[in-house]
Structure 1
């Protein structure tokens, strides 16, 4: 069996001072596959990564370990290769990039001034970071801001701290805390990613007369996170309204029900869509009410794209010194969100007859639509007149040959956002017929005047021709005959209608192809047909009383039989309908 990836590699975010990082892929096959790893750098150089290249590299059973990684030597795009005697497959390309987090500006910011009972917000103004950060706030160097306990407070994924309605007790100094995160599904190598805390930012609250106002949904909302929602991610829709408390939040989707998997947090100001699918998109409406007559709402059109990944550098073109590797992938600059296709109809393993024709198709979902390339054992497949035809996601191979066509095939779906592979094995089969798994039934019984089919199902490649004999005498039947009493069907089975006693005997099926022939023999016994000697008769029964209908059948002694009853033409199920008993 050719290799298939059980675990694809995952992109890594490495800290500058990390002692070690690793990329791992796991493939299965028989015999077990061996692995290679390739790296493409910012300068478009493709390298076979081995310990002979650098003693810091160790490749063991699909796991590449890099000791003391550095950005100049180790950042880039990596691809795992698994190979055994049946073929070669390539993993999805992943990246190793280096995370950084700068320092907050060492300048005291001007106070944020707000009137009591009005709205307010404090911006974080985070330091430079790569690739992403998450936010938290503290007040007076001691207490974390707790919106779950204070519904007039809200910390958005954009980093801002919002006040729906400012109170005098909110006055004080606030500190923004940022912590580095991958932000895109990559793995952070550090268990304790770096974090930074800003200088205090003062909120000054001026006294004002109480007022009842709102709700008014802030111009910053509805806010979606991540900014480019991707299939497979947990998507957050945030909604915040200003105004006097209490404020009640609710959500709906125009023209469609909300997905059943959604859940809410933060007083229903955040709607979560876990493991988002494309069909979870639509127009989402946030409704905020203070009373039955004071309310407002805002709609947001959510469009979900395919699965995302990020590339570490600006790479003009993904080319390879090793010509067996794909050379059609292109990437964009760091930090840009990207989408790539995913397969709705992946390739399936194929076992086909020698000399036959295979039509193989794959289909990926992508926006914009994907282009397709085909690979055999890592080599790009090109059109060959009279042998191989390729039309995007459909490949036709004619005149299949074991030596030329056996191997591992991959369909690659690519658009400007990335590339996805689907892998499968093609085995071209050629061998003589045999009946080891499905010999003819040794003893088969048919009813006088009835029909019988004697199955002949050998294993053979290519598909064999069939001939039948009875008691050693050839029947000389024509395939596909539809009028004779004794017929050879197109699939090779023998069909006999209107059975008579003379049809009893020993039947032999012989299957033959270019590699040889083989036979299997079984006996057919024709018996008298079953009959109903005592049938049911009409009977009148009082409601809620028990009624009995009799049936007595007769069959030849060598045949087992069962009784079945129908009511108004429908078979009675005695297990489901307990008021019937047999």
Structure 2
């Protein structure tokens, strides 16, 4: 810092002369006398445009003149600082224990004076900490921490700076600290068969080791089955959750500094219901009773049950009753009807998921054909089809067709297409020969059913039988016959030519 002073009395001039004025730092001194040249202990032409030795008239009341001299002197001082500081590497001696005293020295290998020292802890001025003491000298600085505590750990940076530049060096202070939770494990649940990750992480110095134990039968075993440490934070990973994975586990964090951390948690396996396969009795007779039970072999309670028939709710199916307990549901059909034949599905559901199982109800029921008919007369060349559909009965069915009591012969013009519960007879182009009574016959192991419909085909009148010329004795009698076919049936009338 610059300072101004007056010379002592022995150097004072008469009352009519002004007192000399001295501007000084530790390295530069400038003595200014009124009406005298300015004298400088170190002068450099690079610092000033006016040659050294030029006289300045100094008026103590002129602030501009004083500032001029200050600027000149500052320039002279800066020009003499050319070497930037260079810090010798330093470190703390091992891991510190809380309550002890630690010290490190920031020593310079080189650098022009003056040099200032600054200490930072984790980027913040370390001198503000109550247990940190800093003593700096011209070419070194000592950092002391007394007493050391857990908060003392961190990066300590020494910065040495002069007008030419600066240097810095950092060393880490490691302080013994017992484990503390970064992520304390908590009770957790997972669905059967899914992946489960349980977090457990702790900090401390030295870094704690994380271990997992499964608590069984009053003891504890290191848990290794399908549980692998996937990363350094100590997470336990169960790749595929099983029922036997449920229970109590302990996560332990230990670094040799007491107290050791240990947390016990409970793992629950959130089971989706699983239904045991079931079926109806075979070939239940119509009018009888059908009963089936849907059991679950596993699944977290509460579990709700519901039933479907052919994918729809049972609410519209007659003669059904249900009874449910926590672990099963009973479905009763009484009396059994032909319409009860179909697929029955039990659904068991809880908050974690559901399971379903489907079985078929077969009833001892002969087939029943839905009635069909041909309501109009077919025209010659027209395409017609007759559908024979089974509305009731136990599958499988067999179908056959007849015409006028004889097995129907399929041709290029007459075709039959059959599926599991219907048969379709098709005539691509009808003619007079197509007319007749067509019968569908369907059978199963319990019986059969038939249904017929008449196919009428338009045809012009055709004489089938007539009487030719006949001689008769006058007064005698004679019978004349005239028979005609056609569709619609022709009307026969007689007339006598005039």
TM-score with structure 1 setting the length? 0.29
Larger helix share, 1 or 2: 2
Structure of higher CA gyration radius: 2
TM score, norm. by length of structure 2: 0.34
